[in-house]
Each structure stands twice: as structure tokens, then as C-alpha cells.
Amino acid sequence: MGLEIIDIARNGIADLDMELSETSLIPDLRKCAILLDIDGTILDLAPSPQQVWVPTGLRQTLARLNTLTDGALALVSGRSLQDIDLIFSPLELAAIGGHGAELRPIAGRKAVMRAKPLSEALKRKLAGVSELGPGVLAENKGYSLALHYRLAPDRGDAVRAAVEEICAEMPPDTVEILPGKLVVEIKPAGVNKANAVCELMKCRPFNKRNPIFIGDDTTDEPVFGVLARFGGLGFSVGRISPNVNGHFDSPASVRAWLARIAAAGEDAAG
């Protein structure tokens, strides 16, 4: 694969913040695809989804890595592509949105729609769960709906129970409940990040490359399980997840590492 970390990663969990803090990791970015979750991975979590902030320098780092990989850098998120583009504007990158409902292998091109959005009637019923109390926030993501209780963590059990009751009324195998970090998300069944990543890796410029995926939440765990098919590596943030090759302590650590490999890549390119 051409990665300096490969032997360490395959022989045990590597802590990138400690053991490899000075390792560039990727000698040749043209052989790699870099896939990044957003919230909790490259951006710090915020009290509400609308309050996330892109730290100074991150856009520049992502733009540099996108150039060095010849466009093989993609954001992989539960957010919609429209939301992703708005957050990182004016930068536009290849992306997977809606947990795999939207796929855009090449920035600027029309996205492939891989699922139908949840019905407006179901979204309205789910949004009513926010009546459980202050701090329970409904986020309409288009293809899915998320109920955040970061501001009311004591409401978690009640939120999950209410969502399960509503979804039990739906026809079998039509919707899926995704638990996350102080959030419950409801999306169309059969759509997930792992399937979308597998599809992305068949598209140019990602095909014939080795992916490196970084994610932080339970919704990212299916991706970790498919990376070996492509000779790839997976790294979690904040905790050690199943099937990962290493982990970062925080989004700040991820951003610092991305900046480091971007600088190393530019030096190697001359």
C-alpha cells in the first residue's frame, strides 16, 4: 500500500496522537483516497448542527489534499450535500451525503441520488418528539430526520422510545433507526455509508486507490468493516471502534495530522 503505518496498524491499534505524531504516514498521496466524516471527526461537535464552525486553515488543508490526491478526497456525512457545501463554502469536494443517500464522486458534477427522502408526513410525526422538552431538537436532513438531545441528555431514553414507537407503525424494512452521539436519526432502510463508500471506490478518481477513512460515531462503523476490500485503513476519533487500525484523540488531532500530511505531500511534490 505504500503507507509507513501499515505494519503497525495491522499488528495492533495505533494511537496516532502519541506513537506516530511525527510520522507523515503517506509517502505518495496519488496512491491514496482520503475519506473523512465531518461532525466529531474534522469539526468539533456543537450544541446544535447549525452551530458547527470550520476552524481557520481547515479549508486550505482540505483544498491542498484534494489537489495532491488529484480529487480523491471525499467528505462522508449524514448531512445533505447541500448542507456540506454550505458549511465548507466556497470549497466544494467529492462527497457522500445523507448516510449514503447522495453520492458525488467528482466535485461540481451532479450527484447520484441513491434513495428517496422520508415522507413529509413521517418527518412531521417524528419532529413532534421534540415536544418531550426543551433541548430536544429536530433536524430535517432531507433524506432523513435527526432528533438531537445534546442539550437535554436526560431525555435520551424518552426520545429513543418515542422514535421506536413511531417507526413500528411503518411497513417492515422501510425505515431504519440510527443511534449516535446524543442523537437518534431515522433514515430509509438499506442506505448506509459503507455501501456508498464501496460504490465511490469504483468511480474515478477513487478507483485503484487505497482508502483511508476517519470517523467518530457508530454510523461510521460499517465503513471500517469494508475498507480491507480496497487495501484501506480506518481510524476512529475519541474512542477505539471495531475494525479500526488506529485512533485519534480529538478532531483537533485529526486536523493537525491532515495539515501535516498536506505539507509533507507538497514537499515531496517539489
pTM of this structure: 0.85
Known active-site residue 37: yes
Sheet containing 32-36, strands listed edge to edge, beginning at the edge strand earlier in sequence: 14-15, 246-248, 233-237, 210-215, 32-36, 73-76, 94-97, 102-104, 112-113
Retrieve residue 67's grid coordinates. 489537489
Q: Residue 235 in contact with residue 212, Cβ under 8 Å?
A: yes
Determine which one of 15, 37, 157, 220 is catalytic: 37
CATH architecture of residue range(s) 120-188? 2-Layer Sandwich (3.30)
The dotted CATH code for 6-112+191-269 is 3.40.50.1000
Q: Where are the domains of the chain?
A: 6-112+191-269, 120-188
pLDDT per residue as tens, the chain (270 positions): 334 443 334 444 455 553 443 344 555 788 899 999 999 999 998 888 888 999 989 999 999 999 999 999 999 999 999 999 999 999 999 999 999 999 999 999 999 888 888 899 999 999 999 999 999 999 998 889 999 999 999 999 999 999 999 999 999 989 999 888 899 999 999 889 999 999 999 999 999 999 999 999 888 999 999 999 999 999 999 888 888 988 899 999 999 999 988 988 776 665
Q: Residue 183 in contact with residue 218, Cβ under 8 Å?
A: no
